Structure 1
C-alpha cells in the first residue's frame, strides 16, 4: 500500500502537477519523522497542517493563492490519502523574519492546535543581515514551544534563488537550520538539496524561480509541493482502514 501511494505521488509530482506547466524534475528522498501526524492518521483524527513562514509560504510569485505551495500540497495529500480528514492552512506573511514570526506564533499557529507545522525561515534573515546566532536562538525557542504541545515540526530552508545566493554568508543560515534539526531532532525538508537535485536533473534554478530573482514561479511551487507531499506520506503512512 505504501509503495502504491509513493508511486502515485511520484506520478503527480513528475507529470505536470497543477500549475507546473512542465513535468517536475526528479526529487531526492527526504526523510521526515511525523509521529503525531502518523498517529492521527491511524486513528482517523482530523489533521491540521500549518504552513508557517514568509513570502515563499504566502505564495509571492505565484499566479494566484491556489498556486502557492500550501494549496497545492493540500490537494496532493487529499489525492494520496482520500480517507484522511486533513486541511492545510497557509500562515505565510511576506517580508517577515523569525522574530516577527515568533510574535504571532501563539495566535496564528499554536491557537489553531495543529498536528504539523512546516516552518519555512531564513530568506529574510539573510537579506536583512540578521545575525545567524540570533536566528538560531529564536528558531530554537519556537521549536521548543511547538514540540511542548506535541506538534510535529518540519523545518524548511531557503530556495536557491539569485538574490539569496548573492547575499553575504547565506550558508550560515542553512547551517543554523541543519544544526537545529540535528540537535533538537526535528526534520529538515531542504529546498537547497531539492533544487540541487533538480539542477543535476537538468532543471536550473531559473526554470523554477520567477523574474524577481527570489520567489518560485508556479512550476517551482508545484514541484516543491509534490516533493513535500511525497515525504509527508512516506513518513505518516496510509490511514488505518476501520475493521481491517
Structure 2
C-alpha cells in the first residue's frame, strides 16, 4: 500500500466527538486469492453488496454516504488501475431467508467478482432457530461458491440497546463459526463497533443515527475504511491478514 493510499484509508471520519479509528476487522483463514491477479491486471471489478438496512444505508444522510458507496470510492483510490463497481442490493428489514432468495436471483442474472453478504442483524434482533440460521448461512456460502464469485461476510452491528446481548452474540458467533469452517473471511463489524463503544461510549453515539440502531454517516464511513483496509490485506500477496478471534 503506498503512502497516499494508506493516508486515505486511515484518515479520520468525524462527527462531533467521534473519530474513526483504524480497527482490525477481518476474521480470515485464507485470502481472496482469486481477486489478487484482477487487482494487479486492472480492468473492471464488479462487487455485489447484499443485505438489509445497513447495506441499503438506512441512517445515512444520502445514499452516497452508505458503506457500499464509500467503499467503492476508497477502493477506487487504493486500486487506481481497477474500475470498481459496487451494486448496492440492501433492503431494510430483511432476515437471512429473504436475502438468501434475492442472492440466488442476483447470481443468476449477472456475474460478480466478489459478493459481500451482510447477514444476521435482524435475525439476531428477532431470534429464532439458531441451527436453521447457521444452515442458511452455509447454504448461501455454497451457493456463491457454485456461482463463482469470491465471498466475504459482514456480521451484525453492535449497538448499546441490544435487548438480549447474550442471545444476540450467539448469532454473531454462529456466523463466525460457519465462515471459519468454510474458510470464508468475515468483516467483524460487531466486535469493531463494540471496541469503538468501549473506547468512548459518549462519543460512540455519533457513529449511530438518531434511532440509536442504524449507523450514521460517520459510522458508515469508518466501517467502509476498515473494510477497504481488510480487502487490501486479503488481496495483497505477502501482506499479513488482520484477524480477530471469535
| Alignment TM-score > 0.5, same fold | yes
How many Å separate the matches in 1 of 2:6 and 2:79? Answer: 14
| 1:110/1:146 contact within 8 Å kept | no
Bigger Cα displacement from structure 2, 140-149 vs 59-68: 140-149
Displacement of 1:43 in angstroms is 3.2
Q: Distance in 1 between matches of 2:5 and 2:130?
A: 36
- How far residue 137 of structure 1 moved from its aligned partner, in angstroms, is 0.5
- Between 144-153 and 181-190, the greater mean CA deviation after superposition: 144-153
* Pairwise CA distance, 1:9: 4.5
Aligned to 2:62: 64
Is 1:51 the counterpart of 2:49? The answer is yes
CA contact 1:58–1:92 (8 Å) conserved in 2: yes
The superposition leaves residues 133-153 of structure 1 with CA deviations (integer Å, 9 ceiling, x where unpaired) of 111111111110101222111
Q: Whole-Å Cα distance in 2 between the matches of residues 161 and 31 of structure 1?
A: 20
Structure-1 residue corresponding to 2:221: 222
Q: Name which of 11, 14, 17 aligns with 1:15.
A: 11
Distance 1:127 1:64 in 2: 25
Aligned to 1:112: 110
Q: Is the 8 A contact 2:25 2:187 kept in 1?
A: no
Does the CA-based 8 Å contact 2:25-2:188 persist in structure 1? no
- Which of 193, 196, 204 aligns to 1:195? It is 193
- CA–CA distance in 1 between the matches of 2:73 and 2:95? 28
Q: Contact 1:126–1:164 (CA<8 Å) still a contact in 2? A: no
Specify the alignment match of 2:234 in structure 1.
235
Distance 1:202 1:127 in 2: 24
**How big is the shift at 1:101?**
0.8
Gaps of at least 5 residues in structure 1 are 239-244
TM-score, length basis structure 2 = 0.86
RMSD: 2.2
Q: Which runs of 5+ in 2 are unaligned?
A: 238-246
* Partner Cα separation in structure 2 for residue 119 and residue 213 of structure 1: 23
C-alpha contact 2:12 2:21 (8 A) present in aligned 1: no
> Quick one: distance in 1 between partners of 2:191 and 2:86?
24
Counterpart in the other structure of 1:27: 23
Report what 1:242 is aligned to: none
What TM-score results when the alignment is normalised by the length of structure 1? 0.86
1:133 is matched with which residue? Answer: 131
| 3-state SS of 1:133 partner | helix
